[in-house]
Amino acid sequence: MPSFRIGTRLLLSFGLLLVFGLLVTLLALWRLHSVDGMAKALVNDKLAKQQLAAHWLGVASTAGGQANAVARSDSLEVADYFGQALQAADRELAAIEQRWSGLPQDAAERDLAAAIARTRTAYLALREQVFKFKVIGKTIDAEQLANGDMAARFRDYQAAIGALAELQKQRAQAIALESEQVYRNSVVLLLGLGAFATALGGALAWRLIRSIVQPLREAAALVERAAAGDLRPGAWHPRQDELGMLLARLQGMNASLAAIVGEVRDGVHAIDGALVDIADDNSKLAQRTVGQAQALKRIAALMEEMRGAVTQNASNARHADALASDATRVAREGGGVVADVVRTMDSIHAASQRVSDIVSVIDGIAFQTNILALNAAVEAARAGEHGRGFAVVAAEVRNLAQRATTAAREVKTVIGASVEEVEAGSRLVNEAGTTMRRIVDGIERVSVLMGDIRTASETQRAGLEEVGNAIDDIDAVTRHNAALVDDAVAATSALRTQSQRVAASVNVFCIEEDGTGIASDEAEAEVLPSAQTVPLRLAA
């Protein structure tokens, strides 16, 4: 049975009990049906027939008495009274007989009914004869017949009805006895089946309880050991039902808890070692933070000196920038003067060119005049005496033309020399202008550079101020870091204390690896010694 699941066992046990109870119920219903049939047969058939037969016998006896009263009575009134009653009794007897004939009957009952009919017929025939004797006045014959044969036939009639009533009584008693026997047998059978069902139910319950309680006790013992810290696997009997699955799951849970405890124990030791390293690192970090704070103080002093130097450089750069601006202004004024000289020299050169052109025109005119004078002299020579005066004039004009040509050549020579000197002066002035422009450009570049230097100095000064502020911020952060290092040292110490407590708590459990628990003092003794932690103290 342990190989079956609990649901299957419960289903089989209660199903068997239910089937057995159903069988007992069906059997009881069958027996009750039998008893009910007997009771119905007794009440509806036998007792009804017995009552009808008894009533029949009573009415017949009454009718017989009334007939005897009529036969023996000397009074007509009495005879008439009993005669009417006798007629009513006869009608009732006929109705009873009619009712009886309508009831189901067996052979014995039909035989007795036939006997009743025969004896009644014989009795009624003799009674009719007696009444006839009574009517015709044969009183003695009537009495003799009434006391003799009529009385004998009446007794036969009563006996037949009594036999029918007795038969019904016996049959009713037989049915009652049979019903009682069926009841007793049913009681015995039901008591036996009830006892068997009780025994079967008790056996099934005992077996079911034993199959459930025992593994539950094992599970409870396993849980109690786990609650006490013993996570070692205990002895248990493998089962295929839900309780076996429960025990297997509990064993698996214990194994998982043991593995977790082992991992936690190892993790706690590892954490403790890591905390020792963290404490050492915090101490080193504290020392480095102190060194960093001192270095920041030195850097701040150097930055202050650099800030003063850069401020002086910025002041010098502003002064140099002002001087460069003045030099640029003067150079630009000199460049303007040189430009004016260049323009004046250009004007002189242009005027010399015009003079040279005019002289060339004059030289041309003198050359043409000389040619005209030659032509005039030739014409005067041809004219002879008449052209002599004209020849003199032509000679004078030619002389004038030659002198004009000579003068024009000299002027042209002088103008040419002047033009060359003007051109040389123009070149010098142009070169001076170019040089001045270069000087102006150089001074402007120097001015731009000085402006850049001034701007760079200002930027450098602002940057140094920002660097100083940043160094101040770094110093504040360093101080805050120092405070955090102190907090980290305290937190590491508290965490190591908690780690030791966790280790002591975990070491309470017994697992398969060590087999025994470790006391908290031993656990604390096994924990690595903590590193010395020194709180930071930074100078303000």
Residues of each domain in the chain carrying CATH 1.10.287.950? 267-526
Class of domain 267-526: mainly alpha
Cα–Cα distance for residue pair 381/399, rounded to 1 Å: 17
Residue 531 phi/psi, 5-degree rounding, is -80, 155
Cα–Cα distance for residue pair 287/290, rounded to 1 Å: 5
In eight-state DSSP terms, residue 535 is: -
Cα–Cα distance for residue pair 183/186, rounded to 1 Å: 5
DSSP 125-159: HHHHHHHHHHHTT-HHHHHHHIIIIIHHHHHHHHH
Q: Which single residue is written with the structure tokens 């059997």?
A: 27
Cα–Cα distance for residue pair 385/291, rounded to 1 Å: 134
Residue 16: which residues within 8 A CB-CB, separation 6 or more?
200, 204
Residue 191 near residue 79 (C-beta atoms within 8 A): no
Length of the chain: 540
Cα–Cα distance for residue pair 102/158, rounded to 1 Å: 21
From residue 342, alpha-carbon distances to 30, 248, 369, 422, 425 in Å are 155, 118, 40, 10, 9
**What residues does 230 pair with on adjacent strands?**
510
Q: Which residues of 352-370 are buried (b: 16+ CB within 10 A; e: fewer)?
A: beebbeebeebbeebeebb
Cα–Cα distance for residue pair 255/201, rounded to 1 Å: 39
Residue 527 phi/psi, 5-degree rounding, is -70, 140
Cα–Cα distance for residue pair 412/362, rounded to 1 Å: 10
Query: If residue 248 lies in a helix (H) or strand (E), which one and from where to where?
Result: helix 242-383
Angle at 142 between CA 138 and CA 148, to 5 degrees: 150
10-residue mean pLDDT profile of the chain (540 residues): values are: 65 77 80 65 62 76 71 62 72 78 75 80 77 72 76 82 82 80 83 85 79 74 76 65 69 76 78 80 78 77 76 75 75 75 76 77 80 79 74 79 80 77 76 76 76 77 77 79 78 80 73 51 42 46
From residue 74, alpha-carbon distances to 71, 87, 139, 140, 284 in Å are 8, 19, 9, 11, 159
Task: Look at phi and psi of residue 384 and say left if phi exceeds 0, alpha if psi is from -120 to 50, else beta.
Answer: left
Cα–Cα distance for residue pair 27/189, rounded to 1 Å: 9
Residues of each domain in the chain carrying CATH 1.20.120.1730? 6-222
Question: Within 10 Å of residue 116's Cβ, how many Cβ atoms?
Answer: 25
Return the CA Rg of the chain.
Answer: 82
Cα–Cα distance for residue pair 514/260, rounded to 1 Å: 14
Distance of CA 535 to the CA centre of its chain: 47
Cα–Cα distance for residue pair 467/307, rounded to 1 Å: 10
Closest CA to 178 of 26, 33, 39: 39
Q: What is the pLDDT of residue 43?
A: 55
The SS3 of residue 230 is: strand
Fold assignment, 6-222: Four Helix Bundle (Hemerythrin (Met), subunit A) (1.20.120)
Q: What is the pLDDT of residue 73?
A: 65
